[in-house]
């Protein structure tokens, strides 16, 4: 069984927004990489360069009160929910003006007011947590949907199985999106997985449809997102989508990704989602000027966000002692 | 006033909070239709319905993940982890996720969850169904830890835990389910972080918690009766927050400190209490603080062996007598 959605054309202005979203993610993360090499972004960072179509498609399709649960590779999913670049950049730099005031860092981006319910750095942990949000939506009859993004490697941890079964048993409004970029950190997924399609081939075990989509095609991502969000909202339970994609960079930091064959990398670079979509829009009659204007606008915004983040001071010492508990403090004795 | 078992108190505690607040839901394995393996939650399903009292698959990560996601989005959920030993299969959600998310998100996320669990030994269940895991929980910043010893405290501390916006690990001593005590009528709420003085005496302070409260108390009665040593017994009731004030002021009066702990010796909560008293109450002490705990071994199953290693009334009496010489 494959998905049964009737393909529908994406309207013009939506197409431009999808394009702009991808450009935002790309340009922002290119800057993050530079800033990492320059020592401004410290610790670690996991980029989604090459995988932007997935975050962009879902970001466009989700309702403003839907929830995103992402992994440590979560910059794109955060920005795609409409979070400002500047506080995200400042968080990556460990500054007071950061999205979490410097207390979370690159791997834990969260903005509850945007429905960005967190980035989780323990593989698999957020699948059952997204199930809990979906449980709450169903219990409160709020019509909200939880969307949970994770990698191919995540399908081999126990929490994946527990979460999928749980969501299916209680027919919860959650959409699981496996971004199959063919690699875990440095190991190819097919070397360590019993089936070819790590997510889709397991869908049947939970009574779910087998769905494989081109994760580098933003309009396809947008359509599948719309269809599956609607289905979840209408009470038909969870979906599991496997989106095929590829990361252009290494796993994290400055990893050159040498464990991947050159020909494979080259073939996927050819399938870069952004130039492909740009060409398509031009073919469909969108003017070069309109697309250039978007690129220009985003480029200025990234510069501004960078300057703003650099101008933000480090967090004050007392920030380390805030918000351990609900009273705002850290005191464990009475 | 009614006589209630510790087991019946679980039902009353859940019912009190579910009646008051429909954001409270309860999930766990075999908890709804079967009423729980300890039969502590029988009747809840009938009273509150299948939307709020939920039988789950054997999926501890999914149970606690669901708890967390639901708490982050407006509910105040409660889960049962059947035996506290099973925290081993879902510790990531507890220690890495629930405990840290408020902090990492700079206070954006609230985590009003309660995880009830049957804790401790005495039932001859062996090493994987008898552990006292309070120290695992206490070691993680961001978790509150409660161990009620009486039916009254079970209801009151549970109510406070449900109303608290932080994650609370709520450890019920499974050897106490059958014990009974008088419980007042009406709503009961007992604040987290306030110890209870079970018995007052001038000669030594015994600090304890959970099932060990009864052994410490019986030992104190015997020490008084047979040896004229009069002990104060303090039931900490919660380990986080820890009521340091009550402990320090008691030690200031008695000048001696003993802890009675069910957990294995290394890094037990008593070590923390002793360290605080030595640091902040050193000049009030007349002798070394002494910890009485289960030795640092897995729990054996056979009755004779289990009884030998978990602190008994005899052992507490003997050690205190010897060390008070
Ligand atoms: C439980 C756990 N095991 C191992 C790791 C270390 N680790 C971080 S990312 C990663 C690879 C995950 O691969 P995948 O799920 O495909 O996601 P991707 O990084 O490709 O987006 C590993 C092994 C971890 N963070 N958590
Ligand atoms: Mg991967």
DSSP string, B72-140: HTT---EEEEEEGGGGGGTHIIIIIIITTHHHHTTT------EEEEEE--SS---TTS----HHHHHTS
- Residue that finishes a domain, picked among B131, B149, B183: B183
Report the chain B residue with the minimal C-alpha distance to residue A145.
Answer: B73
In a domain, A314, yes or no: no
Hey, are the CB atoms on B68 and A326 less than 8 Å from each other? Answer: no
Q: What is the CATH number of the domain that holds B122?
A: 3.40.50.970
Question: For the segment A221-259, what is each residue's pLDDT rounded down to a tens digit?
Answer: 999 999 999 999 999 999 999 999 999 999 999 899 999
Mark whether B129 is an active-site residue: yes
Closest by CA to A25, choosing from A215, A274, A300, A267, is A274
Interface ipTM? 0.97
Assess whether B178 and B62 both reside in one domain. Answer: yes
Residue B276: its chain A contacts at CB < 8 A? 333
Domain count, chain B: 2
In a domain, A278, yes or no: yes
Question: For the segment B289-322, what is each residue's pLDDT rounded down to a tens digit?
Answer: 999 999 999 999 999 999 999 999 999 999 999 9
Assess whether B25 and B89 both reside in one domain. Answer: yes
Hey, are the CB atoms on B97 and A127 less than 8 Å from each other? Answer: no
Q: Compute the average pLDDT of residues A126-138.
A: 98
Q: What is the CATH number of the domain that holds B213?
A: 3.40.50.920
- Residue that finishes a domain, picked among B153, B183, B213: B183
Hey, are the CB atoms on B105 and A130 less than 8 Å from each other? Answer: no
Which residue's CA is minimally distant from atom 2 of ligand 1? A123
In a domain, A28, yes or no: yes
Assess whether B29 and B172 both reside in one domain. Answer: yes
Residue A50 above 80 pLDDT? yes
pTM score, whole prediction = 0.97
- Residue that finishes a domain, picked among B183, B205, B233: B183
Closest by CA to A131, choosing from A238, A207, A232, is A238
In a domain, A149, yes or no: yes
State the best of B61, B98, B195 to mutate against chain A, taking most chain A CBs within 10 Å.
B61
Q: What is the CATH number of the domain that holds A87?
A: 3.40.50.970
Assess whether B161 and B205 both reside in one domain. Answer: no
Hey, are the CB atoms on B65 and A129 less than 8 Å from each other? Answer: yes
Question: For the segment B56-106, what is each residue's pLDDT rounded down to a tens digit?
Answer: 999 999 999 999 999 999 999 999 999 999 999 999 999 999 999 999 999
In a domain, A232, yes or no: yes
Domain count, chain A: 1
pLDDT confidence bin for B325, thresholds 50/70/90: confident
pLDDT confidence bin for B184, thresholds 50/70/90: very high
Which residue's CA is minimally distant from atom 3 of ligand 1? A123
Assess whether B81 and B218 both reside in one domain. Answer: no
End-to-end CA distance of chain B: 43
The answer for B 60-89 residues in CB contact with A (under 8 A) is: 60-75, 77
Assess whether B82 and B207 both reside in one domain. Answer: no
Ligand 1 within 6 A of CB of A153: yes
List the domain range (segments joined by +) for residue A96.
12-306
Assess whether B230 and B315 both reside in one domain. Answer: yes
Which residue's CA is minimally distant from atom 4 of ligand 1? A123
Hey, are the CB atoms on B97 and A331 less than 8 Å from each other? Answer: no
In a domain, B158, yes or no: yes
Q: Compute the average pLDDT of residues A136-153.
A: 98
Per-residue model confidence (pLDDT) at position A11: 79
Per-residue model confidence (pLDDT) at position A9: 60
List the domain range (segments joined by +) for residue B250.
196-323
In a domain, B177, yes or no: yes
In a domain, B134, yes or no: yes
Assess whether B227 and B174 both reside in one domain. Answer: no
Assess whether B31 and B155 both reside in one domain. Answer: yes
| Chain B nearest C-alpha distance from A190 (Å) | 26
- Distances, alpha carbon B107 to alpha carbons A101, A117, B96, in Å: 10, 12, 16
Task: Please list all protein residues whose beta carbon sits less than 5 angstroms from ligand 2, which is an ion.
Answer: A 151-152, 181
Distance from C-alpha of A19 to C-alpha of A23, rounded to nearest angstrom: 6
| Chain B nearest C-alpha distance from A76 (Å) | 18
Per annotation, catalytic residue among B7, B129, B152, B174:
B129
Residue B131 above 50 pLDDT? yes
Question: For the segment B210-235, what is each residue's pLDDT rounded down to a tens digit?
Answer: 999 999 999 999 999 999 999 999 99
Backbone angles phi, psi at B137, to 5 degrees: -70, -40
Assess whether B319 and B174 both reside in one domain. Answer: no
Per-residue model confidence (pLDDT) at position A302: 98
Ligand 1 within 6 A of CB of A154: yes
Distance from C-alpha of A218 to C-alpha of A54, rounded to nearest angstrom: 7
pLDDT confidence bin for A10, thresholds 50/70/90: confident
In a domain, B191, yes or no: no
Assess whether B246 and B165 both reside in one domain. Answer: no
Tokens of A101: 């005031």
What is chain A's percent helix, strand, coil content, to nearest 5? Answer: 50, 10, 40
Distance from C-alpha of A97 to C-alpha of A312, rounded to nearest angstrom: 6
Beta strands in chain B (DSSP E): 2-5, 26-28, 53-55, 78-83, 114-119, 144-146, 168-173, 180-183, 196-199, 204-208, 231-235, 238-240, 257-264, 290-294
Residue A104: its chain B contacts at CB < 8 A? 104-106
Assess whether B75 and B212 both reside in one domain. Answer: no
Query: Which neighbouring-strand residues pair with B257?
Result: B205
User: Which helix H or strand E contains A159, and what residues bound it?
Assistant: helix A158-169
In a domain, A324, yes or no: no
Atom of ligand 1 nearest to the CA of A46: 19
């Amino acid at each position: 069984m494959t998905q049964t959605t009737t393909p529908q054309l994406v309207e013009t202005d939506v197409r431009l927004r999808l394009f702009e979203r991808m450009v935002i993610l790309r340009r922002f993360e290119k800057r993050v990489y530079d800033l990492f090499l320059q020592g401004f972004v410290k610790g670690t960072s996991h980029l989604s360069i090459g995988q932007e179509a997935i975050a962009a498609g879902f970001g466009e399709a989700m309702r403003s009160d839907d929830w995103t649960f992402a992994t440590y590779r979560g910059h794109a999913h955060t920005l795609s929910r409409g979070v400002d670049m500047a506080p995200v950049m400042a968080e990556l730099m460990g500054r007071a003006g950061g999205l979490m005031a410097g207390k979370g860092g690159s791997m834990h981006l969260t903005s509850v007011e945007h429905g960005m319910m967190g980035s989780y750095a323990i593989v698999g942990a957020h699948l059952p947590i997204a199930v809990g949000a979906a449980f709450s939506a169903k219990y409160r009859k709020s019509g909200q949907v939880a969307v949970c993004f994770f990698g191919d490697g995540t399908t081999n941890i126990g929490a994946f199985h527990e979460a999928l079964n749980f969501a299916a048993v209680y027919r919860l409004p959650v959409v699981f999106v496996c971004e199959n970029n063919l690699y875990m950190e440095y190991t190819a997924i097919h070397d360590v997985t019993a089936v070819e399609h790590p997510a889709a081939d397991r869908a049947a075990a939970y009574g779910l449809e087998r769905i494989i989509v081109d994760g580098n095609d933003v309009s396809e991502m947008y359509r599948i997102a719309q269809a599956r969000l609607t289905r979840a909202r209408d009470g038909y339970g969870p979906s599991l989508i496997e989106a095929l994609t590829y990361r252009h960079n290494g796993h994290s930091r400055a990893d050159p990704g040498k464990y991947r064959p050159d020909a494979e990398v080259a073939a996927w670079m050819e399938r870069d989602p952004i130039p492909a979509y740009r060409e398509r829009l031009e073919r469909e009659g969108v003017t070069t000027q309109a697309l250039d204007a978007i690129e220009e606008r985003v480029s200025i915004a990234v510069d501004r966000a960078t300057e703003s983040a650099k101008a933000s001071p480090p967090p004050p010492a007392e920030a380390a002692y805030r918000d351990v508990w609900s009273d705002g403090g850290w005191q464990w004795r009475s | 006033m009614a006589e209630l078992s510790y087991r019946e108190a679980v039902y009353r505690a859940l019912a009190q909070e579910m009646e008051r607040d429909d954001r409270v839901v309860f999930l766990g394995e075999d908890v709804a239709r079967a009423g729980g393996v300890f039969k502590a939650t029988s009747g809840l399903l009938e009273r509150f319905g299948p939307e709020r009292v939920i039988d789950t698959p054997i999926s501890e990560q999914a149970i606690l993940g669901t708890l967390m996601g639901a708490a982050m989005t407006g509910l105040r959920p409660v889960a049962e982890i059947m035996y506290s030993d099973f925290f081993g299969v879902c510790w990531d959600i507890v220690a890495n996720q629930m405990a840290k998310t408020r902090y990492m998100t700079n206070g954006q996320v609230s985590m009003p969850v309660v995880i009830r669990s049957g804790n401790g030994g005495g039932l001859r269940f062996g090493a994987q169904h008898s552990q006292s895991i309070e120290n695992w929980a206490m070691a993680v910043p961001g978790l509150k830890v409660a161990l009620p010893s009486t039916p009254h405290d079970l209801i009151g501390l549970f109510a406070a835990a449900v109303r608290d916006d932080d994650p609370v690990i709520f450890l019920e001593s499974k050897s106490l389910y059958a014990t009974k005590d008088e419980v007042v009528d009406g709503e009961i709420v007992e604040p987290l972080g306030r110890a209870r003085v079970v018995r007052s005496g001038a000669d030594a302070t015994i600090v304890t918690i959970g099932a060990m409260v009864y052994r410490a108390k019986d030992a104190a009665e015997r020490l008084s009766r047979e040896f004229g040593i009069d002990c104060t017994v303090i039931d900490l009731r919660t380990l986080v927050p820890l009521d340091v004030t009550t402990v320090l002021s008691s030690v200031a009066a008695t000048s001696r400190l003993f802890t009675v702990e069910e957990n294995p010796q290394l890094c037990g909560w008593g070590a923390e209490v002793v360290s605080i008293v030595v640091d902040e109450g050193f000049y009030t002490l007349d002798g070394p603080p002494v910890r009485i705990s289960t030795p640092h071994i897995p729990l054996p199953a056979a009755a004779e062996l289990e009884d030998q290693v978990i602190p008994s009334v005899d052992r507490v009496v003997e050690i205190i007598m010897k060390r008070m010489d």
